[in-house]
Structure 1
Amino acid sequence: MIYVQEKNLKVAGKYIPGQIQSVSVTESGILDEKKSKKNGTKANNPKGYEAPEIRITMIFEESSNYDRNNMLRYIQKLFKGTKQTKQKKYKIYEEQINARGITEVYFNGFDTHENIEEGDSYYTGTLTFVGTVLSGINVVKTKSQQAKELAAAKKKAAAKKAAAVKKKTTKKTSKSPAKDTRSASIAKKKAKKVVKK
């Protein structure tokens, strides 16, 4: 599990050393360029959506517990361990990310940079996560919207019931459904075929 709490990041139950600077979520559509056969003009044709991408930018300043290189080693191990052959999947908890319908991600990238200012230097890094599925959220409906939908559903059900009543047979019926639905003409045709054989 990944928890983002203010300036701290917690992965698999352990706090990641360093401070969070920003959290961004990017979702993109896929457009395919299509050429018209008639006049040769090109137009964009929507094809769907890319998986959402989450980027968490962090600053790694030395502390009493970690020097900056050990901080990077710690995250590198989470991203790709010694015997790890593919990305790990995590549940993620962060207000902005969850509000966009993303609850599970793959740890998909880790970039680092050394920043040098007036003789001093520090590391910054970006952890990239990709959603396991295309995100989507359920829209919260107001009470008036719910009432309208309920009224429309009742109206549709009443119309369906009226149509079913109209379709019912008008011929004289008995207590036997089999007797009411059987066709005498079809039975006679079948009997004639049997006799001819």
Structure 2
Amino acid sequence: MHLRTTLCLLAVVLLPAAVAAETIGEVSASRGNTFLSRQEVNEVAAKGVPVLLDDTALTGDESRLDLRLGQATRLRLGANAKLKIDRFIAGRDAEVTLDKGAVVIERTKGAEPKFEVKTPYALLAARGTEFFAGPSKGVFGVFVKSGIVDVKTRRGTVRLKAGEGTDFAAPGDPPTPVKKWAPARVDAAMWSVR
């Protein structure tokens, strides 16, 4: 009886660590100072390192980080970025939080149908798409290269389609009206994560 109680207690203590340690992807490439933060410990994000649920990806100055989640989602982070993997259920849904910096998210056939990005500015709900979110021309911008992204705030919602973008001057602002981004702006945004 005493052994059974001890084993049950061990299972309860170890279970959260086992769940949190679920591998959901890997580092595809990195340049500069890049890390995956796990339980307040920073591990160097070198090519091939597993990405775990609840990891926070961090990049330093002039750094880039390329992550693969599941079979069909790619996240490319630019310099001075911080992005946390909040949820990932293969074949169903995923959610990440972009606290700062720029990211390009590419989702191809077979990606989770529901993919959301929380930012200080808005909630971005992607529908099988490739899109940018991050600093652009002195504001926080969201641009869709292909597919659809719904940009939701308490003060308004816009739907972006291929070639369209919206901006935020500050957290709490409503999204600006949808507009086509000029090729030079698109190139600069995409270059910021390459």
More helix by share: 1
Pick the structure with more strand per residue.
2
User: Structure with the greater relative contact order (CA < 8 A, sep ≥ 6): 1 or 2?
Assistant: 1
Larger Rg: 1
